[in-house]
Amino acid sequence: MSIPPTQTWHAMHDDLNLLESPQPSQRCDASPANHAIDLRLSEVVSALSCALDLTEGQPAGHAVRTCLLGMRLARMLGLDDTTRSALYYALMLKDLGCSSNAARLSQLFGADDHVVKKNFKTTDWPRLINAMQYIGRNICPTGNIVQKLGRFIAIGVAGDKGARQMIKTRCERGASIARLFGLTECTAQTIQQLDEHYNGQGHPLGLKGEEISITARIAGLCQTVEVFLSTYGLTAALDMARKRCGRWFDPMLVDLLVKLEHDDAFWQSMTDKHFHAEIGKHEPEDQRVYASDRQLDRVALGFAQVVDAKSPWTRKHSEHVTELAVGIGRVMGFDDALTRWFRRAALLHDVGKLGVSNSILDKPGKLTDAQRQVVMQHPRYTFQILSRVRGFEFLAQTAASHHERLDGKGYHLGLEAKHLSKPVRALVVADIFEAISAQRPYRDTMPMDKVFAIMDDMVGTGICPEAFAALRYHVDTMGYTPSRMTPA
């Protein structure tokens, strides 16, 4: 296939690297048949955790740094290897449910959900005065006083019950995706209890003290410390931990954390540019998980669900694009090995959309030029996230090319036809077909013949004739039910 060499791809993306650490070593051969057989699950989830960081409005690497800190505390506590292994994955995947409330938050606040979520992380919200100030600062930033008042009332009506429900959905969804990955129940429970507070005033269950698992207590402390560390520095992070000691956090864990205050080498390692590459060393050695094909399939499916949960307009997008793309690939003669990797690429093609705010993705009207530019970055983010995994070259390149066109007028690279492989061409066609046929806020689903007529005009300039013919054959023989919206 004629995809540009891997080095060229990296050079094309250097300007917007999500992380400061260098890319992992790459092979030039992007054939899916040659993928690594010793791939560790930690390599995959640490890369994908960056997509969760972006959804939470945090810098890429937040979850991995949280994991570094959590594993240090777990070792100081003398937790056994099995528990530390469960904690390790819980810390990197703690925000798996993050996309499930993004649309609702953006709608409720009339604001960029990334900003709303980021500011939430630094707010001592159980204290009413802080909660009111947080709401006041974050509602409808570009709106007038009447619009702000309307949002304020809506948030007041939703009240504590609404907040609890949003956190409940987020925690339960995160835990269920961790189970889908085949991770332990301890990992799932840690994610489920992430926002519980030591004094019982957390959400969603109001668990108190040791009713919250030790791993969830560690995760709750470490995620907040990391946010303060990245935003304000170490002194502010430790001050915050001391102030919330006994309310948010287990005093025993805060004592341990404070003992690290003068360990300059440790804090340096948290901000070192190589921290991302180091995370594999912190997985308990005899508990190392190697990613089987089945597990990679589950991780791709789980992250597709995270992406699809982000917006009510695209609740089934990745799933349906994958169904179509694999069908097209079969008609075009893709063999089983290629199809397996191609399915993963299709599932993960829009993972970069997690880096785009719902205030843009769900905007009912026309996007401004600046907003369109933001949307057009999402395949770039997809590449930057996926290409961090050793052996994911084919997957990253294919997934990140899903908005390219034969005439070179696509995005985000404007690749020419000679650089668009058959899998890319199949994915492009599947993505366009799903998007056109799906229900929109201003219209119902579109009849198949109308979708085909619109796409027929793109053949030769935008889309590949062979892939389009394969799509028609697949849909004619297998049928297809277009996606419908699901309210936030």
Question: Binding segment for Fe ion among 137-145, 298-306, 344-352, 409-417 (CB under 5 A)?
Answer: 344-352
Of the listed pieces 34-42, 91-99, 281-289, 345-353, which binds Fe ion according to CB under 5 A?
345-353
Q: Which residues on adjacent β-strands are paired with residue 40?
A: 290
- Cα distance between residue 146 and residue 358, in whole Å: 22
What are the tokens at 397? 């390149």
Q: Is residue 323 a contact point for Fe ion (CB under 5 A)?
A: no
Q: Which residues pair with 459 in a beta bridge?
A: 463
Query: Minimum distance from CB of 325 to Fe ion (Å)?
Result: 10
Residue 121 designated active-site: no
- Tell me the C-alpha distance between 245 and 249, whole Å: 5
Could you say which residues in the range 223-252 bind Fe ion, by CB under 5 A? none
Q: Which of 273, 353, 418, 450 is catalytic?
A: 353
Q: Find the shortest distance in angstroms from Cβ 7 to Fe ion.
A: 25
Reduce the DSSP state of residue 472 to 3 states and report it.
helix
Residue for token digits 């366009």?
Answer: 432
Q: How far is the CB of 249 from Fe ion (least distance, A)?
A: 40
350 binds Fe ion (CB under 5 A): yes
Q: Which amino acid is it at 285?
A: E
Of the chain, the end-to-end C-alpha distance in Å amounts to 41
Residues 439 and 433: their CA atoms lie apart, in Å, by 12
Q: Return the number of the residue (196 or 404) whose C-beta is nearest Fe ion.
A: 404
- Determine contact, residues 65/228, Cβ cutoff 8 Å: no
Q: Output the smallest distance, CB 427 to Fe ion, in A.
A: 9
Provide the minimum distance between the beta carbon of 285 and Fe ion in the complex, in angstroms, as a whole number: 39
Residue 226 or residue 350: which is nearer to Fe ion going by CB?
350
Residue span binding Fe ion (CB under 5 A) among the ranges 8-16, 229-237, 335-343, 350-358? 350-358
Q: Give the total of residues touching Fe ion (CB under 5 A).
A: 2
Residue 463, strand partner residues: 459
CB-count exposure of residue 95 (10 Å: 0-12, 13-18, 19+): buried
308 binds Fe ion (CB under 5 A): no
**Does residue 3 sit in helix, strand or coil?**
coil
Looking at the Cβ atoms of 250 and 350, the one nearer to Fe ion is: 350
Nearest distance in Å: CB 265, Fe ion: 42
The runs of H, that is alpha helices, within 181-233 are 185-192, 214-232
For the record, the structure tokens of 28 come out as 């030039």
Q: Are 238 and 214 in contact (CB under 8 A)?
A: no
113 vs 350, which CB is nearer to Fe ion? 350
170/380 with CB nearer Fe ion: 380
The 10 Å CB-count burial string (b at 16+, else e) for 339-358 is bbbbbbbbbbbbbbbbbbbb
> What is the smallest separation between the CB atom of 71 and Fe ion, expressed in angstroms?
35
Contact region with Fe ion (CB under 5 A), list: 62-70, 119-127, 135-143, 343-351: 343-351
List the interface residues with Fe ion, window 408-437 (CB under 5 A): 431
Cα 11 from chain centroid?
24
Of the pair 112, 350, the CB lying nearest Fe ion is at 350
Q: Which is nearer to Fe ion, 205 or 376 (CB)?
A: 376
Binding site for Fe ion (CB under 5 A): 350, 431
Looking at the annotation, which residues are catalytic? 353
